[in-house]
């Protein structure tokens, strides 16, 4: 199952972890990176995540801060730069590039009736 199907499957299953969930999407890559624009990760309110944005270490930082970055309800665009010496190891990107990630709060529609 690819990440889009996994995200949609979790969304369809519902549950309290979806309250306050944040969808993180790679929207731009400059230079080298493990994933390309379009990669997505759903961060659930319980801290679990579905999908990946990079080679593995960027996900933890995004998951820990996603709710804070979007706490006002507005989307947030974050830039992760591994071009400076040592930064690739700090973020675990493993490549010499810049990744822009859009974070958006997602909410299940209210069902009435």
Q: Which one is predicted more confidently, 11 or 51?
A: 51
Lowest mean pLDDT of 45-49, 71-75, 85-89, name the range.
85-89
Give the closest residue to 64 by CA, choosing from 46, 82, 40, 52.
46
- φ, ψ dihedrals at 7, nearest 5°: -65, -45
Report the pLDDT value the prediction gives residue 3, as an integer from 0 to 100. 86
pLDDT (mean) for 81-100: 67
pTM: 0.84
Confidence bin at 26 (pLDDT 50/70/90): very high
Lowest mean pLDDT of 9-18, 58-67, 69-78, 90-99, name the range.
90-99
102: which strand partners? Answer: 25, 77
The mean predicted confidence, pLDDT, of the chain is 84
Strand 76-81 and strand 40-43: the pairing is: unpaired
- Residue-wise pLDDT tens digits, 3-25: 889 998 888 888 887 888 999 99
């Amino acid at each position: 199952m690819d990440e889009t199907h996994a995200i949609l499957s979790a969304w369809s299953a519902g549950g309290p972890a979806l309250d306050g969930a944040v969808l993180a999407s790679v929207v731009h890559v400059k230079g080298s990176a493990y994933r390309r624009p379009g990669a997505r990760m759903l961060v659930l309110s319980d801290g679990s995540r579905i999908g990946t944005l990079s080679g593995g270490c960027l996900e933890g930082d995004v998951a820990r801060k996603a709710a804070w970055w979007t706490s006002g309800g507005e989307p947030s665009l974050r830039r992760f730069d591994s071009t400076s010496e040592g930064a690739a190891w700090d973020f675990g990107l493993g490549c010499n590039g810049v990744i822009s990630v859009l974070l958006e709060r997602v909410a299940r529609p209210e069902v009435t009736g």
